[in-house]
Structure 1
Amino acid sequence: MSFQLSGSAPEIYENTMVPLWFGRWAEALLTLVSLEIGESVLDVACGTGVTTRIAKQDVGSDGRVTGLDINAGMLTKARELAADIDIIWMESDVLGTGLPENSFNAVISQHGYHYFPDQPAALKEFYRVLAPSGRIAMSIWDGHSAYTKAICSAVEKFISPDVAKKQRSQRETPSANSLIASASEAGFRNVAITRQELSINVPLAAEFVPLHLGSMPIANAFHSLPDAEKEALVADVAHAMRDYVVDGQIIYPDAVNVVTGKK
């Protein structure tokens, strides 16, 4: 499983999904890391770099922050957004970084872990590059929200079951107990799970759904639909989310599990 974006998707992702979703989750994640001035940080699966940029603010000019992602399009956008910020950007998978051992005070990852094809090996790599007493903090979706359930159901109806399966896979994540066990097996100590919940506010379905799907790996499948079927898909989501509409917005709860630990 991977999260690959192309074409205009990274731009839409940054302009739509980051302010509404991922920027808020980045801030929530970093409250559990407590980065200090001068520390070195590795942000894995950094995407367009929202968590990376906040981490750099936290560690200051004396700190060192590296953003790593396998997706070239996302990193191009990340570099553009941080053109005047001293951040190292690396295009690599999580196992082929070649980074020296004991070189980071913190390894962080927002919504990346469940995409790693070899999660135990990734955790061992994070342990290797962490300095003694370094810490890890990774946020992982706690299953589906009401909105993502509605989206996947509509995609299955109006695009295909296979495309819906791809979209659903983004929220098919390890359980809290599994995350604790995996981090512990990789050698981390003081492993814990913190469940974070946010109230998510997005525009109504007619505006938001096309932007959301346009920022996803299934964007081409959505854009290939005839206009009438696109409208029917959006209407299906709107109907499913009708009880969450408040003052002209969709407002619904969403949650992540954050696994933390120390080397």
Structure 2
Amino acid sequence: MNDPQVQAQIEAARAYQAVFVPALFEPWAPWVVAAANLQAGERVLDVACGTGILARAAAACVGPDGSVVGLDANPGMLAVAAELAPEIEWRQGLAEALPYAEESFDAVVSQFGLMFFSDRRQALDEMLRVLRPGGRLAVAVWDSLANTPAYAAEVDLLARIAGEQAADALRAPFVLGERQALEALFSDAGMGSATIVTHTATACFPSVRAMLEGDLRGWLPVMGVRLDEALIARILSEAEQVLAPYVNAQGRVLFDSPAHIVRATKAR
């Protein structure tokens, strides 16, 4: 690929895979595939697959007689996913307009993507549409920022130094953390029998700097916020003290990272 924009997306996806997947996302894949009750030989769709951590876990569950498709809007994410697991089918597309026929899959899974869809209700409608009757849906979203104090501290730091736009970019992943609102979203989509289970994983970053640079140089630009180097340097310096309560003797940043997993079954 020679397109500079796509190359930039690939490099960003490699950084995401190297930093954020092991720190935040990898522990959740077993919980999500368990919630979907995946069986050998089934056909599974992973919506907003990113670099494919959940799709790879699903493929291990369904085995060689099953199949997994990972769908994402970002070609850089898909390129890295294909490097890591070329045997899985990767496809570019939107959650709000899934490029599949009705009743194409035994299970649909999605890990930490629903918060960012332009039309969440439409995305859920699409996930139900492509499920066979009796098929299972399992969707993970982060718990509220109030229940994730390490990120709450980082948000406060950004608000104080960089302003509310930067802070809002970091608040965005936590917008579906309130259980009642989450229940209402699924109920409005015709999933009144959906159940929500909350788990807590341990996030682990190699250092405060690694965690903050991942957000400042990776996540914030994705959300349309770019900070100058002087501002980044000031935030990195002050973050050492702000996040000190979460740093262990080896310099790693460890903190509770709760999330909700919503499970639903399509009516027969």
Do both share a fold (TM > 0.5)? yes
Q: State whether structure 2 residue 221 is matched by structure 1 residue 215.
A: no
Preserved contact between residue 140 and residue 259 of structure 2 (Cα < 8 Å): yes
Match of residue 233 from structure 1: 235
Q: State whether structure 2 residue 203 is matched by structure 1 residue 200.
A: yes
Instruction: Give a deviation string over 1:212-241, Cα, whole Å, max 9, x none.
Output: 433314278566323xx4332112222122
Displacement after TM superposition at 1:164 (Å)? 2.2
Match of residue 120 from structure 1: 121
Amino acid across the alignment from 1:138: V
Amino acid across the alignment from 2:188: E
Match of residue 224 from structure 1: 228
How has the CA–CA distance of structure 1 residues 217 and 52 changed in structure 2, closer, same or farther, with 3 Å as cutoff?
farther
User: Secondary structure in 2 aligned to 1:46?
Assistant: coil
Instruction: Give a deviation string over 1:100-157, Cα, whole Å, max 9, x none.
Output: 1111111110001111111111111111110010011100010122222232233333
Match of residue 52 from structure 2: 49
**Percentage of pairs with the same residue:** 30
Match of residue 144 from structure 2: 143
The 1-side partners of 2:11 and 2:254 are apart by 27
Displacement after TM superposition at 1:8 (Å)? 2.4
The 2-side partners of 1:200 and 1:170 are apart by 15
Preserved contact between residue 176 and residue 182 of structure 2 (Cα < 8 Å): no
User: Secondary structure in 2 aligned to 1:31?
Assistant: helix
User: Secondary structure in 1 aligned to 2:40?
Assistant: coil
Q: State whether structure 2 residue 240 is matched by structure 1 residue 254.
A: no
Preserved contact between residue 9 and residue 214 of structure 1 (Cα < 8 Å): no
Amino acid across the alignment from 2:123: A
Displacement after TM superposition at 1:36 (Å)? 0.7
Displacement after TM superposition at 1:180 (Å)? 2.1
Match of residue 178 from structure 2: 175
Match of residue 94 from structure 1: 95
RMSD, aligned CA: 2.2
Preserved contact between residue 159 and residue 221 of structure 1 (Cα < 8 Å): no
The 1-side partners of 2:201 and 2:242 are apart by 20
Amino acid across the alignment from 1:24: P
Amino acid across the alignment from 1:110: Q
The 2-side partners of 1:53 and 1:256 are apart by 20
The 1-side partners of 2:143 and 2:209 are apart by 26
The 2-side partners of 1:32 and 1:40 are apart by 16
Preserved contact between residue 139 and residue 259 of structure 1 (Cα < 8 Å): yes
The 2-side partners of 1:110 and 1:52 are apart by 10
Match of residue 71 from structure 1: 74
The 2-side partners of 1:207 and 1:148 are apart by 14
Preserved contact between residue 43 and residue 66 of structure 1 (Cα < 8 Å): yes
Note the residue ranges of structure 1 that are not aligned, 5 or more in a row.
none
Q: State whether structure 2 residue 35 is matched by structure 1 residue 32.
A: yes
The 2-side partners of 1:174 and 1:20 are apart by 20
126-135 or 113-122: which moved more?
113-122
The 2-side partners of 1:102 and 1:36 are apart by 17
User: Secondary structure in 2 aligned to 1:8?
Assistant: helix
Preserved contact between residue 204 and residue 238 of structure 1 (Cα < 8 Å): no
TM-score, normalising length from structure 1? 0.89
How has the CA–CA distance of structure 1 residues 69 and 153 changed in structure 2, closer, same or farther, with 3 Å as cutoff?
same
Preserved contact between residue 158 and residue 167 of structure 2 (Cα < 8 Å): yes
User: Secondary structure in 1 aligned to 2:176?
Assistant: coil
